[in-house]
Amino acid sequence: MASTIETKTVLQVEGVRKAFPRPSGGEMTVLENVDMTLKEGEIVGLLGRSGSGKSTLLRIMAGLIEATGGKARFLGEPIDGPAEGIAMVFQTFALFPWLTVLQNVQLGLDALQIASDEAHKRALEAIDLVGLDGFESAYPKELSGGMRQRVGFARALVVHPDLLLMDEPFSALDVLTAETLRTDLLDLWSEGRMPIKSILLVTHNIEEAVLMCDRILLFSSNPGRVIAEIPVDIQRPRNRLDPKFRWLVDSIYERMTMPARAHAAEARPAFSAGGIDMLLPRVSTNSIAGLIEALAGAPYHGRADLPPLAEHMHMSTDALFSIGETLQLLRFAEIEGGDIRLTETGMRFANEDPHVRKQMFAESLLSYVPLAAHIKRVLDERPAHRAPYARFAEELEDAMSEEWAEQTLRSVINWGRFAEVFAYDENQAMLSLDNPV
Ligand code: ADP
Ligand code: MG
């Protein structure tokens, strides 16, 4: 461990594990072996997909929940409850509608037994700092989303925290408002106007991480774990169009989409390898066909750089990843080097009529999605060629959370229906073979 004298460690997480009990018994591991360190003076990004356990990790750091194993330390002390000196900003603003801006902000100080005139003064300062001067007596419903999140920031800053934890604080805001808030926050930080030692920013937005952070930690899914650290050596203020900025965004895209091949040793793919317990993203057959068509046509002609493609298709990174990986899973495309490229099959799919597309889809589904083949096998073997949804849900819940099991099953059912491999009766929650022979 390289510990230098001049940079103090603010937060240290070592071997943290978190498992939640399952309703059906047993447990589900959400975080495994999480290691990370935050030093004084830095903004660190934790970049991972939805459901990877980022919020759970933040709640452990904030002392709101306990880790199942490992430890988290704040300024050297084990975290075993809400620590004075750590504040958090949430994705949704969590303001009390019946309290004014001032009262909402002052609420942050409630736990700290501070004399009321001092509390009042500090709340006004915090409100000023976030640019809400003049709105002290407004109620949340009178504020725009951006202003409400400013109140969220003020409520965190009013305690004069050493460490600020931010859980996707800009993701509920529209694009322009989010960017203004990011810039304002970075200005406050670089001007030293927030007496904060370091910031941990949780996000699933690659560009946001590159814009704001000194270092980015890539977080894997299922279970969540830090799998890579990426320093961001780009001068501030940063420009999204700077070639260095673009290059880094591209290379992170690449690392996040390619764990299966390029980093097999250290990373787990978003889909766990191989069996019926492979997580399937919630991706509709329409968006699968849509992406194939877009890729096949001009200006891409079968190949595209992921970041501009996301922009062109008005999609979030998360959504494009999910669809892109589904194409990869079904062998309609390959993702490599931050690019997505249609395979020969993918190109053919784009040019076929709906009937042939269904056949091609069925073939890919049964060849490359083990769960689809498994469901078909079970239905084939049963005399009535029917099986209840719950039968498969229970089977999957041995390997994944109830939520993931439902999502995975929903996806495979939708895909199977489209391919006319099996049918599903919503009312009876019953799967059956589409064309039993
Ligand atoms: P992220 O913030 O990365 O989207 P979360 O930390 O919210 O991920 O959730 C990670 C996983 O942990 C999810 O599958 C979620 O259902 C599960 N989870 C989170 N909190 C609980 C809880 N209190 N009980 C059971 N499961 C939970
Ligand atoms: Mg979260």
Q: How far apart are CA 437 and CA 434, in angstroms?
A: 9
Which ligand is in closest contact with the Cα of 51? 1
Do residues 409 and 392 touch, judged by C-beta distance below 8 A? yes
Q: Which atom of ligand 1 is nearest to the CA of 168?
A: 2
Residue nearest ligand 1's atom 22 by CA: 20
Question: Which tokens go with 15?
Answer: 């071997």
* Residues 276/371, Cβ–Cβ less than 8 Å: yes
- Whether the Cβ atoms of residue 120 and residue 52 lie closer than 8 Å to each other: no
Can you tell me the distance from the alpha carbon of 107 to that of 51, in angstroms, rounded to the nearest whole number? 30
Residue nearest to atom 6 of ligand 1 (CA): 53
**Ligand 1: residue whose CA is nearest its atom 16:** 403
CA distances from 285 to 44, 274, 323, 382 (A): 37, 22, 9, 27
In the reported structure, the alpha carbon of residue 310 is separated from the centroid of ligand 2 by a whole-number distance in angstroms of 22
Which residue shows structure tokens 């099953």? 409
> From CA 433, how far away is CA 377, in angstroms rounded?
10
At residue 258, the pLDDT reads 52
Mutate to test the pocket of ligand 1, among 30, 57, 220 (most ligand atoms within 8 A of CB): 30
Is the torsion defined by CA of 4, 5, 11, 15 positive or negative?
positive
The pLDDT of residue 437: 54
Distance between CA atoms of residues 403 and 393, nearest Å: 10
CATH fold label, 285-433: Arc Repressor Mutant, subunit A (1.10.10)
- Choose the CATH number for 9-256 among 1.10.10.10, 3.40.50.2300, 3.40.50.300, 1.20.200.10: 3.40.50.300
Which protein residue has the closest C-alpha to ligand 1 atom 21?
20
Binding pocket residue ranges, ligand 1, CB within 6 Å? 20, 30, 48, 50-56, 401, 403
* CB contact at 8 A, 348 and 294: no
CB 30 within 8 A of CB 219: no
pTM: 0.69
At 61, list the tokens. Answer: 């750091």
**Ligand 1 centre from 435 Cα, in Å?**
39
CA pair distance 105, 334, nearest whole angstrom: 49
Angstrom distance (rounded) from CA 241 to CA 251: 15
Angstrom distance (rounded) from CA 59 to CA 378: 41
Cα gap 143→102, rounded to integer Å: 13
Q: What's the rounded Cα separation, in Å, for the pair 378 and 374?
A: 6
Ligand nearest to the CA of 30: 1
113 Cα–ligand 1 center, Å: 32
168: CA distance to ligand 2 center in Å? 7
151 within 8 A of 94, measured Cβ to Cβ: no
Q: How close is the Cα of 54 to the center of ligand 2, in Å?
A: 5
Whole-number pLDDT of residue 425: 94
Distance CA 336, CA 346 (A): 15
Partners of 124 in beta bridges: none
Pocket test for ligand 1, best of 16, 56, 201, 316 (most atoms within 8 A of CB): 56
Q: How far apart are CA 273 and CA 301, in angstroms?
A: 30
Number of the ligand closest to the Cα of 54: 1
The Cα–Cα gap between 359 and 267 comes to: 34
Rounded to whole angstroms, what are the CA distances from 85 to 70, 108, 128, 195?
21, 12, 21, 11
What number does the ligand 1 atom closest to the CA of 221 have?
A: 3
Tokens in use for 180? 């203004």
pLDDT given at position 121 = 95
Which residue has the CA at smallest separation from atom 24 of ligand 1?
A: 20
Residuewise pLDDT in 10s, the chain (437 residues): 454 456 899 999 999 999 998 877 888 899 999 999 999 999 999 998 878 899 999 999 999 999 999 999 999 999 999 988 999 999 887 789 899 999 999 988 887 888 889 999 999 999 999 999 999 999 999 999 999 999 999 999 999 999 999 999 998 888 889 999 999 999 999 999 998 999 999 998 889 999 999 999 999 888 899 999 999 999 999 998 899 998 898 888 878 765 443 333 333 334 344 577 778 888 999 999 999 999 999 899 999 988 888 888 888 777 888 898 899 989 999 887 778 999 999 999 999 999 999 999 999 999 989 899 999 999 998 989 999 999 999 888 877 778 888 989 999 999 999 999 999 999 999 999 977 55
For the chain, give me the number of helices (H) and strands (E)? 16, 16
Q: How remote is the CA of residue 2 from the centroid of ligand 1, in Å? A: 33
Distance CA 358, CA 356 (A): 5
Among candidates 71, 72, 29, which has minimal Cα distance to 53?
29
Give domain limits for the chain.
9-256, 285-433
